[in-house]
Structure 1
Amino acid sequence: MATRLRRNLTTASVAGASEAGTSVSRTSVSGTSVSGTSDASGGGTAVADRFGDAAVRVRGLRRAFGDQVVLDGLDLTVAPGEFVALLGRSGSGKSTLLRVLGGFDHEVDGQVLAARSRSVVFQEARLLPWRRLLPNVTLGLTGRDAGERGRAALAEVGLSGRERSWPVTLSGGEAQRVALARALVREPELLMLDEPFGALDALTRIRMHALLQRLCRRHRPAVLFVTHDVDEAILLADRVLVLTAGRFSLDVAVDVASPRRRTDPAFDRLRTLLLAELGVDDLPESTH
């Protein structure tokens, strides 16, 4: 059932999540970004190994760029292992939120708590063209088993035997597979994806959806998935949020039986609800 959120209410919290940390002004999210990954290892109020039963806990998050307020007192809780899709019109603040949680944007007000182990996958794979695939995957990893872990990660995404290939030889889908391998080799508690399949063709996207689902079942990170594609959100997520004017205007569980099919009436009802919240009329002009 959908939960509509008035501007003076917080988003629905995940059952069992407990308060942790201290509200701060000008919160700084600690962490080191490495070519598409954020593997936080520093101190600070914004990073914790685990707080209560949540991988993400945000309270009163505000981000402004000059006079333009992008995130306006935002509240969010993501449970461990939960897959949350984030929808919103262009410019609504989706990518801004991911940058804050990933440790790339420090100029915020409010309480921001995120799991210490975090990885980010962007729309572009952001591979280093002067390094072969295995060094791209293991970038920043330490320990004698780094190479072994990198080869296992490439095998998981279907690229076993390609360790010495150069990024220039990859298709778009293969490059994103490497980006997923690089993110998951770190066994993150929080995986953030910013429209990772937006530049792929339709058939490749379908294959990547299935791969992402398999990887998430195996590794069980909490996932925050930004997309413009309503169907993609319903197919993948446990829960879908719509970001409107800096706040969540809709928070809805995806109650569609597996395997999820677009022909399922429940799928169609949820699609219609989400499109309406986004201000999109789903009917073609000829049917008006």
Structure 2
Amino acid sequence: MNSMNMHRDIISDWQAQHERLFGQHAIKLRHRLAETGLFTRESVGKLIERCPQSHFGLESVSFDGETPKRIYGELGNATGLEAIEAIEKGRMWMNIRRVMDWAPEYNDLLNKIFSEFEARMDGLKTFKRNIGVLISSPNAKVPYHADIQGQSLWQISGVKRVFIYPRSDVFMSSKSIEKILLRETNEDMPYRAWFDDYATTFDLQPGEMLTWPLYAPHKVENHDCLNISVTMEHWTKPIWNSYAVHYGNGVLRRTLGLQNTSTSDHGLHVYPKAASALLWKKMGRQIDGDVVKTRDFRIAPENADGRVSVR
């Protein structure tokens, strides 16, 4: 990261009320990630080439049928800049995962950002921080889904519309959350068109970031332009407690048939449910790794849509 920018705050418009809103409501803030030099087109191209295969994801969506379906691709022999060029042509998005594990300069940036957050919010302690980079096509769409940890989306170039839905059982039931945590499904969940009537929408511009409540369902639609974005994840003790409770509820529902179990992230019930979760994992009952994915296409910058089918 450019040393001359190390002493400037990454978040440029933090206000006192954001401490109370963080993690409870959707918040849009301004950031200075572009000033670091880590997210230019050339820098991102080099990052693609450095990325270990195990941390590389390339996806699209098939809208055949009533329910959108994710399909998966591979880089092939394309360079990083060729891959970006191909993504600019086709409806795809590339996910460069866990960048902090193999690119030290991005780890330094991640630590700086969360140090800022912790300095601004009394009692906030984060762990298992994660940073990734997303490159996505004009008009690309990410289906309705939810995440299991604290999330934020940082826009570098292009514009995307983000739909944030209310955090209630109407839009994401506790049983749906359990299925995600137990890896019985991927993060995509049942969606109805009328959900949009109740969503809060944000058009995320370069230099803006967005964060939202835990488990809040959301979907993303790019404007008609290439998008480069950064995703960040974090855990806190309350987030871990919520994970343990929902996971433990899922285990108890599947083993003992218990229903109507509490989803509160505090209280004595957290600890036996956490123990149930750990025991379930040790018994090998959780599906290992991601939900199985097949490779459907390969990057092909010479083609009109930037890809070629491999099936």
Range into which the TM-score falls when normalised by the shorter chain: under 0.3
TM-score calculated relative to the size of structure 1:
0.28
TM-score calculated relative to the size of structure 2:
0.26
